[in-house]
Amino acid sequence: MLTFIIILSAYLIGSIPSGLIIGKTFYNIDIREHGSKNLGGTNTFRTLGVKAGLTVTIMDILKGTLATSLPFLLGANDLNEMLVGVIAVVGHMFPIFANFRGGKAVATSAGVILGYEPLFFVIAVIIFFISLYFSKYVSLSSMIASLLAFIYSLVFHTGDWALITVIGIFTIFIFYRHRANIKRIIDKTEPKVKWL
């Protein structure tokens, strides 16, 4: 029963539509009707600005961290935190509170890593910003960071199969959710960041 409660809670936490909440509460805007029509931090940055974008990104990261912490907080020590984190990421991508139209899994996946292995999170963030500095594409940087994170897990966490498996799942999620971005990058129509 406790396992079911944790899994359901992780999904519901992941389903909290940060971009929708911030957009409607403070700007009277549904960001799903603007830009890429995505609920994530990147579209919030483009649609509502830096302050809103940062807020949504941090909220999405913390969703993953909180969900990953549930087994520890509720005393379910036999339940792997990373596997619970996957459920939160699924909730983020397909949120019940936003008609199952969610984000692209990047920030919440990062939050899961933060909750499980903070140093790993820092390394992934550094990789992301290095890639962003050179490419100016948030989408490409997200995919590069996820792929290198998976390779990092294979090299430096060889015995932690839960971590390796979940990072692999996140990488698949992120590439799949960015398939339209990949086409735009190839066509050279993908928007670039202007602040870096």
- 85 belongs to a structural domain: yes
Look at residue 19 in the predicted model and tell me its pLDDT: 93
Residue/partner pairs of 95-101 with CB below 8 Å, 24 or more apart: 95/14, 95/15, 95/16, 95/17, 95/39, 96/11, 96/12, 96/15, 97/15, 97/16, 97/17, 97/20, 98/15, 98/17, 98/20, 98/32, 98/39, 101/32, 101/39
| Residue numbers of the domain that contains 144 | 2-187
Residue ranges in the chain whose pLDDT is less than 70: 196
pLDDT tens-place string over residues 141-189 = 999 999 999 999 999 998 899 999 999 999 999 999 999 999 999 999 9
Per the structure, the count of domains in the chain is 1
Look at residue 195 in the predicted model and tell me its pLDDT: 72
Look at residue 95 in the predicted model and tell me its pLDDT: 95
- 193 belongs to a structural domain: no
- 66 belongs to a structural domain: yes
Look at residue 36 in the predicted model and tell me its pLDDT: 82
- pTM, rounded to two decimals: 0.93
- 192 belongs to a structural domain: no
- 195 belongs to a structural domain: no
